Structure 1
């Protein structure tokens, strides 16, 4: 399910966006900074300060997680079912390990959102399909101009 390409995008993404729905069917999208692939089917997300996301998952565990590379303007949308894994759960330390590698203990992880991925869909900027000649290189160049940045020089 989580192919090498999906795993690469997870690793290079700075944020992911977790979409949940509350009991009144009102959607909620929340950025998450600490997340990692746990295995080929599971994405783990640290709950550092996410009371609304946690409450929504307990009411309706269906979620969508998306992440993109802002320069290439490509990424993935993961659909699945989430579970809140509390600190007292015997699985917590195992799920926390890849998240701790990211935080180095800088944040207290209150609980973990474990998403069992059931569907993966690519996210691609419309320019790739609608603007003739659009390439990944041209998208990256355009984004770098827009953001006022340039590639880091390798030493």
Structure 2
């Protein structure tokens, strides 16, 4: 199972994911995506809200990498695989678009979506965890909050 509980949990906590594709010159192109979800244990769905560059890149070269990182914990995952664009006119659009439409609501209409068939999953971990193995997530969160000038809000 590519998308195990740890990956799914991290994905649900992420506000954005980053879709990397390859442009016509062979250069990487990275674009933020706000509406995304797991479809099954090896497929990721991403709403194409306003990404003609990513759509063109996927049409030319299906190589794709999607990453998401919690900016406070500074951990996440990198998913590599092959992407394809599914348009509204395609027969599989409706069943694939359904979970994304629920997430997007009427505010973010989309007429196509990216389907990423995942071939590999790798963790993303901030260097401090590796350089200082006794670093805890709570220490990392506290440090990130200081760096970003963020304070906790008490309920």
TM-score range, shorter chain: over 0.9
- Taking the aligned partners of 2:16 and 2:95, their CA distance within structure 1 comes to 22
Query: Aligned runs of 1:1-155 on 2, under 5 Å?
Result: 1-154=2-155
- Taking the aligned partners of 1:7 and 1:87, their CA distance within structure 2 comes to 26
CA drift at 1:105? 1.7
- Taking the aligned partners of 1:117 and 1:73, their CA distance within structure 2 comes to 22
2:141 partner SS: helix
- Taking the aligned partners of 1:74 and 1:114, their CA distance within structure 2 comes to 24
Moved over 3 A (4+): none
1:9 partner SS: helix
Q: Deviations over 1:70-115 (max 9, x none)?
A: 1100000000000100001121111111211211121111200000
- Taking the aligned partners of 1:150 and 1:33, their CA distance within structure 2 comes to 24
Q: Which runs of no fewer than 5 residues in structure 2 stay unpaired?
A: none
- Taking the aligned partners of 1:65 and 1:132, their CA distance within structure 2 comes to 26
Q: Deviations over 1:24-63 (max 9, x none)?
A: 2111011111111111111000101100000000000010
1:105 partner SS: helix
Query: Aligned-pair RMSD on alpha carbons?
Result: 1.1
- Taking the aligned partners of 2:133 and 2:23, their CA distance within structure 1 comes to 41
- Taking the aligned partners of 1:147 and 1:100, their CA distance within structure 2 comes to 32
2:106 partner SS: coil
TM-score, normalised relative to structure 2: 0.95
1:94 partner SS: helix
- Taking the aligned partners of 1:42 and 1:51, their CA distance within structure 2 comes to 21
Aligned residues: 154
